[in-house]
Structure formats: C-alpha cells, structure tokens
Structure 1
C-alpha cells in the first residue's frame, strides 16, 4: 500500500480528508524525514508513529520545521517518533555514509547527479570538492576512478563525519579532508576538476574555483538554485567571471530537480579554457 493511502486508512476519523497527507518520505539510514504542511503539522507525532509501522527499516521519524540555513547548510528537523539516536549509516551506490540527518543535509534528490558526475571523472584526475559535507560527491568520485580528491568542509560536525567516512570506505589513499572556508583554504592551480555542491549564490565562489584549477584550465561543476528564466543571465555572468581570470568558457546546464515553486536546482558544467 502506498504511504499516503496507508496514512489515510490508519488516521481515518482522526485527520480530516480535506487535509493533504504526505505522499512519501526521505529515508536516510534508519531515519525517515517527512515534510508536512501547516495543517497536518499538529498531527506530526501520530504521523510519526504510523510511519514507524509502515516501514520496518525506520527507527526514527523527523519532520521538517524550516529551510536549510547558512553557509554550513544546517537543516531544520524535529524528531517526532522513535529512537532519539539519529546518527545512522546510509548506503548509496556502494558507498557508506555516517551522519546525523537532523543536523546535516543529505539530499536523496541529488543521487542521480552524484552518479552522473562520478562517471565523468577519469583516472589520474585531481579533484577538489569545495563544499564536501560528509563526502557525498568526494567519496563517489574516489570510488569510481583512481583520482586524488581534496574535500573541503566548513562545518566542524560535518567534517568529523567526513573523516569517519573516508576511513569507513577505505579511501585514505585517495581523499584528503580540509576543515575551513573554501574561499580561504582551497589549493591553488592544482585541480583538473572542481565540484561546487552549494546552492545559494554559488557564483560568488566561482573566482575561488578558477584559482583552484590548473593554469591550462579544467572543469567546474557549479550547483545553484535559480529560476529557469535566469539561466541565460547566469551563463553570461559565468563567462564574464571566467574572462576576468583569463579563461574562456563553455557552459552546459543540467537540471537536477525542482527546489521550490518557480525555482530549480541546476548544475552549470563549465569548461574553462586558458586564453594565454
């Protein structure tokens, strides 16, 4: 039975049929993350208990209470049912991730993009992941090819999980973790490829990615939330920033998912070519 139909059946006579119940949840390890609207939020504990019954893999249920915030990308969730220990192990594409999804962002909607990017990377590349979190991109890349990856993370809690995940996946010989602001600690003129997995005003960080690639040029994968109507403007700005740093650019755009009404999550695949 589908999740929404299950809830509707279990909550019959308790929750009005006029209320919109969630159609699904995001499962990170043993933690189910559920989005409720304003009207159904009052039933969050009950929905949490029923969610535990729906899927035996689930041991903890949390509901979203607000947007992801700040440069450290802090999610807003509240535990409403189940085990209070929400540190978990999530397995994706053969890579194991330890994290607490109530404290750190791990988007299931980006899974296909993580797979797509890892297939683009070739052996012997040097890759810098500027917003690594717990290693979502860095570890998939390191698993897919014989590469050197520098994974930068500003959030100390995420950084500790990143270190743990590097060891958990036996990637110590391929992945180096750096704690700090990528604008300050990025290596210079070393990378053939840079990953920018941050969504808010990411283009402000593009100059630092251009400082990171080798002088001959390289590839930059810049994630950003942007209205579709602004894509052409963003590409023009990318071209201008690259030109300011001595590179011409060829940019293709890949849609990852819809982020909110009128707003999409896009990846700008930038080939930066030295004009020297």
Structure 2
C-alpha cells in the first residue's frame, strides 16, 4: 500500500514531500481514510482528489485528524475529496457489514486476526465478544461455525449496527447483541460458568476485565484471546514482553499460554499483540 500511494502521488508531490507520506491508508467499502503529516496538510485536497480519481468505485476520502480515542475508540475525520458520507458496506471473508466510520470503531487491519481466531473456534461453543463494535469478529466466527456469540458493546450506534449485521448475514440465531458495559452485563448469573471462549479486543482496557471474563468460563475451563499494547525498542522482544505482562496480570490464576503474536504496529515502538490462553478452573 505504501508503494501504491507513493506511485499515485509521484508527479503531484515533490520527492522530498513523497518521502514524508505515511505508509498506508484504510479502505473501508467505498471510503478511504488517510493520515497526512502536518507539513503536507496544505495539499490535503490535492492528495484526496488523486486518490479518489485513481481507485475504482471510491466515493469518499477522509483525512484522519486525530488518533483513535475515547470510550468508543473514535477518530476525528474530515472529508477532503468526494462525498461527505460516513456509512458504507464492507466485505470480509464472505461476510457483509454495514459500518459508520464516524460513530463506531472499525479497523480493516484486524481482518487477518478475525480469520485466525475464527479458525480456532469449535462447533457448539458459547462465546463472549467484549467491546464487539459492529460485530465483525462475532459474525465471522458464527458464519464459519454453528455457535452462539454474545456481542457486547456500550456504544449504542455500534450495537444497532451489530444487530443489522447479524441480520444481513442471516445469523440472528447465532449472534446475540447486547448494549451495555461488559462488566455490568457479565455480572449476571446467566453468564457465570457458561462460556467456552472470551475475546477481549480492547488493548487499552482489557486488563480491567480479566476477573469478570474468567468468572464466565465453564468449570472445566476455557479460552481467552487477550489483546495488549506493548512498548518495545526491538520487534524481537515484543512477544516475550507481552507474555511477561500476561504472566504478571494472570498470576493468581492457573493458565497456559498457547500462542502470542504481533497483530500490528500502532505507533513508533508500540505494538498491538494478542495472546491465546487456556484458563484452568
């Protein structure tokens, strides 16, 4: 994607300016979201128009004005080319999703991770997906296996979209969306000792939900997929550092780390990781 973007902008930007172009941008349906360094902001509309004219079926190009932040993990957006439309359809692994890029969190960069976790699930499982957003992890798992997924999010817009997405993909009998804070929702006795697998895909706050997620797992134990943000000067130390963090965080529990990997880079020397654990109860 980096070479593609620079190829598009060659002749539009000077070589020195090209060297400052960020390495990637997000394509979500017919919407592109790009980051532009401050030194090139005066050319944001030119850059946006080049992208709009060069990618077939693209309708809107947005500048990401701020990083993902806040309780709902939203990013500030400014239209720089095309239509000011925030709603689009996004397709992934045979599933279709309605997404609002302004009001609910969504990242196409997690697509490989969504497929990886769906391949670990077994038919008949009961799964909790915390911080589930518009339901991408949940739908992809449930499309692949005859399972039951509780899709929980505190963002009302994301909750509504998750209901729509379960209907679009004909999974109303497998994906059950719940609006609310996961801590409150999972305190219900209806979840205690009933769950086979829990996803915690919110690195900023996942550590706050360790106890409640384990409380939900069946007496025979169960799986957790725990996402972290890890600072490291060298990429080779990211996985060991992540696993050391997990061992400390879960120290009062009996568990086995099955696998840890880097999901993506999120900032200079900051990486998102995921650790697959089995918890013995």
Same fold, judged at TM 0.5 (above): yes
Output the CA distance in 1 between the equivalents of 2:7 and 2:45: 18
Tell me, what secondary structure is at the counterpart of 1:53? helix
Q: Is the 8 A contact 1:193 1:218 kept in 2?
A: yes
Q: Is the 8 A contact 2:264 2:271 kept in 1?
A: yes
Q: Is the 8 A contact 1:4 1:24 kept in 2?
A: no
Q: Is the 8 A contact 2:61 2:80 kept in 1?
A: yes
* Offset, 1:232: 4.0
Output the CA distance in 2 between the equivalents of 1:236 and 1:119: 25
* Offset, 1:23: 4.4
Output the CA distance in 1 between the equivalents of 2:23 and 2:200: 31
Tell me, what secondary structure is at the counterpart of 1:81? strand
Q: Is the 8 A contact 1:63 1:79 kept in 2?
A: yes
Q: Is the 8 A contact 2:72 2:105 kept in 1?
A: no
Counterpart of 2:277 (choices 257, 270, 273) is: 270
Aligned counterparts, 1:130-141, within 5 A: 130-141=130-141
Output the CA distance in 1 between the equivalents of 2:25 and 2:57: 13
Output the CA distance in 2 between the equivalents of 1:34 and 1:63: 5
Output the CA distance in 1 between the equivalents of 2:105 and 2:42: 24
Residue 235 of structure 2 corresponds to which residue in structure 1? none
Residue 4 of structure 1 corresponds to which residue in structure 2? 6
Unaligned runs of 5+ in 2: 232-237
Note if 1:124 corresponds to 2:130: no
When the two chains are superposed, the root-mean-square deviation of aligned CA atoms in Å is 1.6
Counterpart of 2:214 (choices 203, 207, 210) is: 210
Output the CA distance in 2 between the equivalents of 1:24 and 1:130: 28
Output the CA distance in 2 between the equivalents of 1:267 and 1:62: 29
Q: Is the 8 A contact 2:225 2:274 kept in 1?
A: yes
Counterpart of 1:18 (choices 16, 19, 30) is: 16
* Offset, 1:233: 3.2
Output the CA distance in 2 between the equivalents of 1:120 and 1:85: 36
Runs of 4+ in 1 over 3 A off after TM superposition: none
Residue 244 of structure 2 corresponds to which residue in structure 1? 233
Note if 1:164 corresponds to 2:164: yes
Equivalent pairs counted in the alignment come to 265
Unaligned runs of 5+ in 1: none
User: Alpha-carbon deviations, 1:190-235, whole Å to 9, x = none?
Assistant: 1100011112131121111111211221000011111227424312
